[in-house]
Every structure is written in structure tokens, then in C-alpha cells.
Amino acid sequence: MEKLYSDIVVIGGGPGGAICSVTAKLSHPEKEVMNIREFENQMVPCAIPYTFSDILGSVEKNLISCAMADKIGMKTLVGRVEKVDLESKTIHLADKEVSFDKLVFATGSKTFVHPSLQHALKLKGVFSVPKNVQYIKEMIEYVKEKKRVVVVGTGFIGIEMAIELCRSGKEVTVVGSKEYILANSFDDEIAAQAHQEMLNAGVKYIAHDRVVDVTDNSGDGVVDMVKLKSGESIETEVVVLATGYKANTELAQGLGLSFGHYGGIMVDEYMKSSNPDVFAIGDCAMKRGFISKSESKTMLASTASAEGRVAGMNIYGIQNLKNFSGTIAIFSTMVAEVAFSSAGITEAAAKASNAAVVSAVFEGSNRHPETMPDAQKQVVKLVAMQNTGQIIGGQIIGGKETGEMINMIGIMIENKMSIYDAMTMQVSTQPHLTAAPPSYPVVMCASMVAAKLKSMMKS
Amino acid sequence: MEKLYSDIVVIGGGPGGAICSVTAKLSHPEKEVMNIREFENQMVPCAIPYTFSDILGSVEKNLISCAMADKIGMKTLVGRVEKVDLESKTIHLADKEVSFDKLVFATGSKTFVHPSLQHALKLKGVFSVPKNVQYIKEMIEYVKEKKRVVVVGTGFIGIEMAIELCRSGKEVTVVGSKEYILANSFDDEIAAQAHQEMLNAGVKYIAHDRVVDVTDNSGDGVVDMVKLKSGESIETEVVVLATGYKANTELAQGLGLSFGHYGGIMVDEYMKSSNPDVFAIGDCAMKRGFISKSESKTMLASTASAEGRVAGMNIYGIQNLKNFSGTIAIFSTMVAEVAFSSAGITEAAAKASNAAVVSAVFEGSNRHPETMPDAQKQVVKLVAMQNTGQIIGGQIIGGKETGEMINMIGIMIENKMSIYDAMTMQVSTQPHLTAAPPSYPVVMCASMVAAKLKSMMKS
């Protein structure tokens, strides 16, 4: 039994764990930092769908290197952690023990499949979408020879999987309970457009229904049918269960830590758990929404990375005061050739939590003049508080610039900017890159919200 | 002589004048608003270079419509203003007089050519780049049949003209006094890369030299030679003098208004001149940099639009408190297939004005993993104050997302964010649209600046 020591140990090699280790070492060069990861190679989680089509074409093209680790003097240990003991401050692997001063859980999330469908995962041809290199490799091989696919789940991963499988020549059907896909992430008028792009790309959608069983009718252990609540059934060769993820906290159980209702390890704004020597970041850590500070289900690699940085910088005391509190859900997806992004809270979610909000939608172009060769429709929706005009949410449809434009809206939310601030903000415009100066969509949309508020004050 | 009245009159139909008129009408629906413009059709100023290549191919594809004006009940008058009388509050056109309550000068800028070269404009084949539809039409026709072009000037318009003329098959030479093009807009390490992209595109560059004469050696009134300070000369068929613009304030002279050193009409933060009923916006208005509040030469359609909105909203009293003071120079350009953007102040300019700054440059990718099909290098430079870490400038090289990414940095500057805030900010990442979550370049660059500051504190 080899015995090792490191001042800081981070368990987990995903984006959050990697950046946390690097940040901890750069912020505390005098400390030893060790990252313990189960696999030598990790995948870029959000690019998994693209390994199924010609965009990446293989798992090998989707691996993250840990080249930086050696360069900065951080240690990496590949191995499976079996047990954590907080009293002796020791981590147990099969053939090693690692003692530590500070510990960070970055153990991520595992696929969630409803108990009523878990038996289906035993059938050949039924898959979930875990962040596991070997699993995804075998899945790609299996799917290659098949034609008909059913995807269960209408979130980002489900829809991106459906579109890439369709792009690679499969007949793909998505089953969902709502009218439109991505219904939890976008308001209806935006989700409807994402929905239409998916249909245009050739993916079929069965709305207002639910998968109640996945079976091998012939009894040969190979999936051949999906049964729906409506009584309908779909013949298929492959089923993808993209029904979400849940915090992976097995190692953190029984250590006296507190957990949130959704299963994440409870942490403060600096990612410190109820034990001052234990931190948690990313999908395995509990999050709080930035408005009500109530628990949020957000699970994003970008959120994990931000949390990893915060933990890494402040693990030996607060060095870097956080000026923004809580988690902004901020994300982007491509549906075929159109990008859809969201930051903050949707109008529907705001109203459901009883917030008095006002919103507007502006439709323009992402180039100017609109005759520029690759001009594309650009739609911006802003959601603001009625009393103050403070911006609490934004949604964008457009070209590939959308991914950075939503980051601008994220910064506006973090800085508590109001629509009035947005109306006078200074932006850059260029024919090849943006909308026209007089009709820059974020500004135009803010003006529309202001006009609505003005008319509400009069009435 | 027809006599008209409008509560608010805006002179000028460029982007600033247009958005000012629209904003004034939307903000004051009970007031009459009239926009007086010299031409029915205006061009998108920053897309003029693209009318010379196959990107737009004609002036007709680069016209701004004023469709919105009628819809909101705003009046448009096409005509040339001959004189403004502030005592009687009347504007004189050839066959009309318009009285007003509030006046906005949005008369833009005129091309600037050094007195020693002005005689050359009389030669056939020598052009400046004015925002004039008829002039540009004739220039496109003339250039079409020619092969050899010399561009004088290394700013945005000069370089974009050079590249588009080169793209349409001309042999183009640019003459400049500096080592690299765009030297006033970018620090050397960024400008050097723009420079290389231009050379790769096939444009020739003569550095450390200056055009001292443009002549018709044969005496036929058609340009055939450019003479340089070094003694060299270049045979050519076309010369483009892209040597800048100056405030167009002819109509505002002799009215008792104050002017800045660079010729712009002096205004306050709400674009009000020394006369409370007279406002000025855009290129004809004086600007102050956001740091020292000293005079700035910034002339951008996006700045004009922001100023137009501010004036339009606040022309009858301050309705919308400005939370940010001064002008951020914020702009983007494409050099062949690569975008270059800048916001705020460059490191060189900061040092020249004796500001204690620190900077860093991070080089990454605009996609993740970097094997994504259209991945491109993404470079971010941040400039921050040494004492507080406050971000005062940013420069980006990348793909077409750069145009919105620089707007994010603009918002960070407006909100006085520090590199420490940037290190914990929450961004969205997506394989098709952005860098990877753990190596998002703005965050990485902020971390590098922080590390530099830390090492400075120790030494």
C-alpha cells in the first residue's frame, strides 16, 4: 500500500476538477496539488453528440489533454477512489492511500433514468449518455450499423444527439411531453423556432406523450420497440435515454456533510461544504439561483469551471471577494445551423416563481446591411423586473456569434444592469460581424421593454 | 417659400441621425419630429469597402431604408440645409424654411486629405472615400477597368478597401509610416497579426514611408504615379486617399456654439451643446475618452448611434440617467478571414498618457475541442490598472464571434469590472460556438494579469 500526501486533493477529472486543480496550484504555488481522475483521458462532455456524426466522427477527436498539469508542477493520479475518510483525512484507492489537508469533490454527475425504464438499459441497443469514453465508443460502433433511433428526452443532449444521428443518416424520432423541445430552457416563442429547425433537419417529434416501456418483443434481448402512454408504439433498433443527470455523490455519503434536496453537496458562495476542509464544485455541488437563492438544477461545464476557479483561488482563505452571488444558468446549443442561447431566468420561470416581470422580443439581422452574404435572422428576448427594469434574463436566436452575445447578456445580469443602462450602452458593429449600429438587437429590445413599462405607468 | 414647423429637427440621415430621430419620436410621441437628410438613400458607412468586391458588389446592396420613419409617425424631409438661424430658430433650405423648438446636428464627417495632397483629388483616378452614394458609384465604375491601385492610409477604411480591391483582382499597394497597419487601434503584437493576414491576402505594404506627391507624369490629367518620401515612386492607375475624416460642422459655424480642439461641437454627457436647445451627436460632436475625459478622436457609427439614442431620450429633460461617462472606442474589422476587435484603450495609448497599467495576452481556440471543423485561433489581450485591476482595454483576434465578444468586454469596461471579477464570471460555452469551459480566453487572460500583479507585489 503506497502512501502519498498532497496539501490539496481534487477528486474528478472533468472540466471543473481540471480547472480547480490548475487554479489551486497557480494561486498557491507553495502547496502541493493533486488531481485524482478515474481515466487518463476525459471527453469534452458537451461535444459527445458530435462524435456520432461527421463533425468529429470519433471519441479520439473529443479528448481533453492534461498537458498543462505537468507544466505547472501539479500532480495527476489516475485511479478509482474507493473511500474517503475525513477523520484521518485520507483517500483510499485499491493500491494507494493519499492524505490531504484540503479536499475538493469534483465527482460530477451520472445519467438519470426513471426507475420504470431502468430495466431497459439491460437490452442491447438501449443507451444512456454517460461521460464515459469506453461506453460512448461502443455506442458509436453499435449505432453505426443501425437505421432507426428513438430519443427519449428533449433537453440539450437529447436534441443534439437526435440531430447528429439524423445528420449521419438515421431515421430519428424524439418523444416528449411538451408541445416544443427545450421547453425548460426557453420561452415558448423561442423554443418553437428551435423546434421548427429540428423538424426541418429531418428529426420526427411525437408531442404530448411519454415512453412507458422499452422492450424486446421477440425476447432476444435486443430492443425492438418503444411503447407510449398514448397506446402507440414505435419500432426501433436503438433507444437513447437522454433523460437527465444527477449529482454523483457516492464518495461523499456518510461523511457528515449536508446535501440539497436535488442531491448536491451543500456549499457556500466559495464552494466550502459544512466541513471547512472539504469543498465541492460542479455537478456534484448544490447550486442556488441568483434571484431567489433557492436551489437550482443547473448542471453545466461552464458553471463547473467558474466554481472550480472560485474554489481553487479561495481554498486557503478568501482571496478574491465574489461580487455576484448565486448561479446564472447560461448556455447555448446549435439546432442544425441555428444557435439558441439563454442566460438567467426565462419569462415562464420568472412568472412561475411569482416575480413581476416584463419582456419584449426584437427580431433583426446578425449582419448589416442584411444583403451581406451570410446574414441570418437574429432574435433577442429580454426579461426585466417591472419596478426597476433590472435585466434578469435573455434569450437569443442567431448565427455562431450567439454564443458570445449571450455571454454579454450574462455580464449584464451579473452587473445588475437595467434596460435603461442597456439603451445607452456602447457597442461595436461591423458589417461581417454584427447587426447595424442603429438596430443593434439587445439595445432595440431594451427600448421595447422600456416602452412597455412607460405605457404600463400611464394606464 | 414653404414654411414648416417641427418640435424637434434632426439634420443628417446617417446612422446617428436616423436613430436619434426615431428615439426622439418614440420617447416623445406627443412631439413632432423631423429628420432632414440630403439624400433619399444613405449608405451603411462601414460597408462601403464591400461594395467594391463580390461581397456586396454594388452600392444598391448597401442602402439603408427609412421604412421605420413613416410607421412611427416621424417626418422625413429630403433636402440640403443652407443655413441655420438660432435667433429665429429656423432652418433654411432652397425652397423651404423649417422652424423648430429643439435642434440636433447629426451632420457627420467629411473626408480629410492633407493640404499637400488635396490638389491630387483633381486628377482622374484619385479618390477619397466619402459617404456619398453618387461618388462611390462612379468610383466603383472607374476602378472596375483598372489593375494597379495604391492606398494611402492604414486605418480601418484604408485596409478594408485594400483587401476588397485585392479580392476583386487588383494589384494593391498600401503605403504607411508605421511598421504595421492599424497601429493606432491595436498594440503591436495584435497589429502584427492583422498585418500578416493582409500580406497573406496578397496586399503589398511599404512601411516607414510617406506619400509626398500624387501626379500625372504625362500631364493628361490622369493619375499615373505616387511619389514617396524615401525617393521611391510607384506607377499606378488608381489612388485611394483613406487618410481619415474630420467633423462636418459648416452649418454650426457662427452660431455662438463652442468647439473642441479637433473641431467637434462641444457637448455635455447628454449631447447638449452650450445652447440648451441645440444638441449634436456622432462624428460632428466632440467626444471625451472614458479615462482622462480628455478629447478623443473616435468616429464610429456605433458611437453615433449610442449618442443619438441618448440625445433622443433626453432632449426635453433628463429621463434616463447615464451611469457611464465618456466614450469607449469600441470597434471591429475583418482582415481577410480573421476578425480583429478592440475596446477601450490600448496598452501603448495608456502608457503614452502615463497610466500605470498591466496587461497579458492569452492565445487559445474559438471552439472546443480544437478538432471542431471551423476552429480558429482566438487571442485575447486585457489591459488593467495596476492598483485596482480595473479593466480599461481589451483586444481580440478570432473568428466572426469576435464582434460580439468585444461587446462583452465593452460592457465589462462600462461596469468597471476588475480582472478579479472576470476570473469568477459565469459564461456559456458550446463546442460549435466558443472556447472550452476551462480555458475561456477572457477568464484565462484575466488570471494571467492577476498572476502578474501578484508577482509585482512580492518583488
Q: In order along chain B (459 residues), what is the average pLDDT of each group of 10 residues?
A: 97 94 94 94 91 94 77 93 98 98 98 96 98 95 97 97 97 97 96 98 97 95 98 98 97 97 96 98 96 91 95 95 92 96 97 96 95 96 97 98 98 97 95 93 96 85
Residue A39 is placed in which grid cell?
A: 481515466
- Dist CA B383 CA B422 (whole Å): 13
- Dist CA B436 CA A301 (whole Å): 9
Summarised one tens digit per residue, pLDDT across range A411-448 is 999 999 999 999 999 999 999 999 999 899 999 999 99
- Please, is B293 exposed, middle or buried when counting C-beta atoms within 10 Å of its C-beta (0-12, 13-18, 19+)? exposed
Q: Is B10 on the interface with A (CB under 8 A)?
A: no
Q: Is the dihedral of CA A200, A190, A304, B369 positive or negative?
A: positive
**Overall CATH class of domain B2-110+246-314:** alpha beta
Nearest Cβ partner for B420 among A56, A320, A426: A320
Give chain A's mean pLDDT.
95
Those residues whose C-beta lies under 8 Å from the C-beta of residue B116, and which sit 6 or more positions away, are B212
Phi-psi bin for A334: left (phi > 0), alpha (psi -120 to 50), beta? beta
A449: enclosing H helix or E strand: helix A441-458
Nearest CA in chain A to B13: A438
Q: Which CATH architecture has domain A2-109+246-314?
A: 3-Layer(bba) Sandwich (3.50)
Please give the C-alpha separations between residue A248 and each of A111, A216, A284, B34, B308, in angstroms, as whole numbers.
9, 30, 5, 64, 53
Mark which residues 264-323 of B lie under 8 Å from A by CB: 300-306, 308-310, 313, 320-323
Residue A391: φ, ψ to 5°: -80, 125
How much of chain A, in percent, has pLDDT values that exceed 70? 99
For residue A54, give the amino acid letter: D
Stretch(es) of chain B classified as CATH 3.50.50.60: 2-110+246-314, 113-243
**How do strand A81-85 and strand A90-93 relate by DSSP bridges?**
antiparallel
Total-model pTM = 0.95
Residue-by-residue DSSP string for A301-365: HHHHHHHHHHHHHHTTS--S--SS-SB--EEEEEETTEEEEEEE--HHHHHHTT--EEEEEEEEE
Does residue A458 register a pLDDT over 80? no
CA A79 to chain B, closest CA, distance in angstroms equals 22
pLDDT the model gives residue A442: 98
Q: Is B447 on the interface with A (CB under 8 A)?
A: yes
Estimate the crossing angle of helix A156-167 against helix A188-200, to 10 degrees. 20
Stretch(es) of chain B classified as CATH 3.30.390.30: 337-458
Q: Which superfamily is assigned to A338-458 in CATH?
A: FAD/NAD-linked reductase, C-terminal dimerisation domain (3.30.390.30)
- Dist CA B179 CA B191 (whole Å): 9
Mark which residues 342-361 of A lie under 8 Å from B by CB: 343
Stretch(es) of chain A classified as CATH 3.50.50.60: 2-109+246-314, 113-243
Mark which residues 326-345 of B lie under 8 Å from A by CB: 327-328, 330-334, 339, 341, 343
Nearest CA in chain A to B323: A421
CB A400 within 8 A of CB B400: yes
B438 to A308: CB separation less than 8 angstroms, yes or no = yes
CA angle A330, A332, A335 (to 5 degrees): 155
For residue B294, give the amino acid letter: S
pLDDT the model gives residue B7: 98
A404 to B434: CB separation less than 8 angstroms, yes or no = yes
A425 to B436: CB separation less than 8 angstroms, yes or no = no
Mutate to test the interface with A, among B25, B322, B404, B444 (most CBs of A within 10 A): B404
Residue-by-residue DSSP string for B137-185: HHHHHHHHT--EEEEE--SHHHHHHHHHHHHTT-EEEEE-SSSSTTTTT
Is the previous residue joined to B369 through a cis bond, with omega within 30 degrees of 0?
yes
Summarised one tens digit per residue, pLDDT across range A225-257 is 999 999 999 999 999 999 999 999 999 999 999
Residue B406 is placed in which grid cell?
A: 468585444
**Residue entry with cell 431620450:** B313
- Dist CA A28 CA A31 (whole Å): 6
3-state secondary structure of B404: helix
- Which residues of chain B are within 8 Å of residue A333 when distances are taken between CB atoms? 430
Summarised one tens digit per residue, pLDDT across range A103-153 is 999 999 999 999 999 999 999 999 999 999 999 999 999 999 999 999 999
pLDDT the model gives residue B167: 96
Nearest CA in chain A to B23: A447
pLDDT the model gives residue A457: 83
SS3 content of chain B, % helix, strand, coil (to 5): 30, 30, 40
Fold that domain A113-243 belongs to in CATH: FAD/NAD(P)-binding domain (3.50.50)
B431 to A47: CB separation less than 8 angstroms, yes or no = yes
The answer to whether domain B337-458 has CATH 3.30.390.30 is yes
Confidence bin at A306 (pLDDT 50/70/90)? very high
CB B105 within 8 A of CB B279: yes
Q: How many CA atoms lie within 13 Å of B419's alpha carbon, on the beta-carbon side?
A: 28
CA B381 to chain A, closest CA, distance in angstroms equals 16
- Dist CA A393 CA A384 (whole Å): 7
What ipTM did this prediction achieve?
A: 0.95
Estimate the crossing angle of helix B441-458 against helix A15-27, to 10 degrees. 20
- Which residues of chain B are within 8 Å of residue A56 when distances are taken between CB atoms? 369, 371-372
Summarised one tens digit per residue, pLDDT across range A50-102 is 999 999 999 999 987 666 777 889 999 999 999 999 999 999 999 999 999 99
pLDDT the model gives residue A65: 67
- Which residues of chain B are within 8 Å of residue A303 when distances are taken between CB atoms? 426
